[in-house]
Amino acid sequence: MSTKEYVEGFMAQLEQKNPGEKEFHQAVREVLESVAPYIMDYPALLDAKIMERMVEPERVIMFRVPWVDDRGEVQINRGFRVQMNSAIGPYKGGIRFHSSVTLSVMKFLAFEQTFKNALTTLPMGGGKGGSDFSPRGKSDAEVMRFCQSFMTELQKHIGQDRDVPAGDIGVGGREIGFMFGQYKRLRDEWTGTLTGKGLTWGGSLLRPEATGYGACYFAQQMLATRGKSFEGATVCISGSGNVAQYAAQKAMRLGAKVVTLSDSNGFVYDPDGLDEEKLNYVLYLKNGLRGRIKEYADKYPTARYFENERPWSIKCDIAMPCATQNELDAEDAKKLLANGCYCVTEGANMPTTPEAIALFQAAKILYSPGKASNAGGVATSGLEMTQNSIRQSWTKEEVDEHLHRIMSDIHDACLKYGTEEDGYINYVKGANIAGFIKVANAMLEQGICY
Ligand code: NDP
């Protein structure tokens, strides 16, 4: 059987067994195409059906989340927790609250998370959860009631040694606070069962910054392989949430000019670039006022707002998609390449479509998948778990040092498994194989338990 036949046969079965789950199919295919040659070289992996087991979640919890809105009307949302793989540690992964959440989205994220967590070198399995509830436009009281209802069910399935959720799209400090409060109330225990907590109640310094900062540290390493850096580079960033905000801050502090930010309604282009004052306004706008990125252009007249467009038509050296899945397609990739972009570092999970990835790789530009370059967030969540367990808080410098080392180790792993014969570093292949080997070996050694 050729590698191609193995991949296509596997995918046909997966698609038949999981109909309509297109995001999950996409994520599995990307990993499978990288690891299939490796699997076929090791009959033990084929015999133990490691890949077949990896695509089947250990457990999926799906539940009703009823709550009452401010008008007194009963609302019903759907909650999920996908406990994908516990071979190397307790399930770990964020919670997403967004209207686009489906079982397919949860499974793709949990699958990706398994390999990402393995790459961090920390003992964390893979999981993901969320709901089709959107906090946008809801009052604080509505968000609290929803979070309490969500946690009333979820608390039965999580714990500091079992499954440790964190934030993701639509889940920031406010939502983690409401969920942690309800968890504590129902379980009558204070443990580090959620990460991304407030600094006065067990949170880690630098956790809010970690995903964006980590992505920039990773990009620094990628750029260094070609004798380049952020200094003087023009950077396009999508999104304006947690990851985008701190990717922008670190890129700026490393000497780059950040010219775009976006949300699901459009993007702003500021040819003068962001500075600390403008970024502080964005933080206030998005985290305090919960406003729209359009308002940036109202405040800073040098900037222009493009309704219903994505930022990839703007000329840049480095692109950092930091919003959501499949937000950068082949047409966008062509525009970026035509404009001379030489580095694409993902802050979001699976933001680049397979066709766009193929174009970047064919053009031999630097391209890193989120599971490598956005792993700084979950890594720092892992550091938060350690601090909670030893009842200590590390300084910002200590956490930053760990974050730097972890991102550098992930980059090394990508080099080890992803460097091709002509010297091109295929970060997709490198990240997938490195993450896969660690999880696969743990599963082999533990026998047929899951
Ligand atoms: P936030 O909710 O803080 O921000 C999300 C941003 O993406 C917002 O600007 C949002 O705009 C935008 N967005 C959401 N959906 C869409 C869409 N369909 N089209 C265009 N823009 C959209 O989330 P995070 O910053 O935490 O997460 C961003 C990405 O990073 C996600 O892919 C997440 O999985 C990934 N990630 C996050 C980590 C973390 O630590 N937070 C860790 C690793 C990965 P709007 O306000 O209009 O919804």
Taking only the tens place, the pLDDT of each residue in 123-152 is 999 999 999 999 999 999 999 999 999 999
How far does the centroid of ligand 1 lie from the alpha carbon of residue 422, in Å?
35
- Please write the tens of the pLDDT for every residue from 431-446: 999 999 999 999 999 9
The phi and psi torsions of 166 (rounded to 5 degrees) equal -145, -165
Count of CB atoms within 10 A of residue 71's CB?
7
Report the chain's C-alpha Rg in angstroms: 21
Q: Ligand 1 centre and the CA of 293: distance in Å?
A: 13
Tell me the pLDDT tens digit for each residue of 270-315.
999 999 999 999 999 999 999 999 999 999 999 999 999 999 999 9
User: How are strands ordered across the β-sheet holding 266-269?
Assistant: 304-307, 266-269, 257-263, 234-237, 318-320, 343-345, 366-368
* Distance in angstroms (rounded) separating the CA atoms of residues 33 and 432: 9
d(CA 11, CA 5): 10
Ligand 1 contacts CB of residue 170 (under 6 A): yes
Contact indicator for 197, 174 with CB cutoff of 8 Å: no
Query: Which residue puts its alpha carbon closest to atom 22 of ligand 1?
Result: 264
Q: Ligand 1 center to residue 435 CA distance, Å?
A: 24
Please indicate whether residue 57, judged by its CB atom, sits closer than 6 Å to ligand 1. Answer: no
DSSP-derived 3-state class of residue 374 = coil
Residue nearest to atom 30 of ligand 1 (CA): 348
Q: Is the CB of 208 under 6 A from ligand 1?
A: no
CA dist 439 and 119 (Å) reads: 10
Q: Which two tokens stand for residue 79?
A: 């909650």
Predicted structure pTM score: 0.97
Phi-psi region of 256 (alpha: psi -120 to 50; beta: other; left: phi over 0): beta
Query: How crowded is residue 196: how many other Cβ atoms within 10 Å of its Cβ?
Result: 28
Whole-number mean pLDDT of the chain?
97
Q: What integer pLDDT is reported at residue 7 of this predicted model?
A: 97
Is the pLDDT reported for residue 346 higher than 90? Answer: yes
- In the reported structure, the alpha carbon of residue 106 is separated from the centroid of ligand 1 by a whole-number distance in angstroms of 14
| pLDDT surpasses 90 at 79 | yes
Report whether 265 contacts 323 (CB < 8 A). Answer: no
pLDDT at position 174:
97
For residue 58, is pLDDT > 90? yes
Q: Is the CB of 135 under 6 A from ligand 1?
A: no
Give whole-number Cα distances, 224 to 255, 407, 414, in Å: 15, 14, 14
Do the beta carbons of residue 194 and residue 166 sit within 8 Å?
A: yes
Residues annotated as catalytic are: 128
User: Residue whose CA is closest, atom 36 of ligand 1?
Assistant: 348
DSSP code of 84?
A: E
> Cβ(369) to ligand 1 under 6 A?
no
Residue 124: name the closest of 380, 433, 405 by CA: 380
In this prediction, residue 67 carries a pLDDT of 98
Separation of CA 54 and ligand 1 centre (Å): 26
212 alpha carbon to ligand 1 midpoint, in Å? 11
Of 319, 333, 352, 331, the closest CA to residue 112 belongs to 352
Is the CB of 376 within 6 Å of ligand 1?
Answer: no
Tell me what pLDDT residue 218 has: 98
Closest-CA residue to 319 (of 244, 266, 401, 268)? 244
Q: Cα–Cα distance between 148 and 70 in angstroms, integer?
A: 15
The average pLDDT across 327-344 equals: 98
Q: CA torsion 322→326→327→329, rounded to 10°?
A: 130
Is residue 214 within 6 Å of ligand 1 at its C-beta? Answer: no
User: Does 324 sit in the ligand 1 pocket, CB within 6 Å?
Assistant: yes
Test site for ligand 1: of 169, 176, 194, 250, most ligand atoms within 8 A of the Cβ: 169
Between the CA of 322 and the centroid of ligand 1 the distance, in Å, is: 6
**Average pLDDT for residues 360-387, to the nearest whole number?**
98
Q: Are strands 266-269 and 163-166 parallel, antiparallel or unpaired?
A: unpaired
Residue nearest to atom 39 of ligand 1 (CA): 168
The pLDDT of residue 450: 83
The CA distance from 330 to 360, in Å, is 9
State if residue 167 touches ligand 1 by the CB under 6 angstroms criterion.
yes
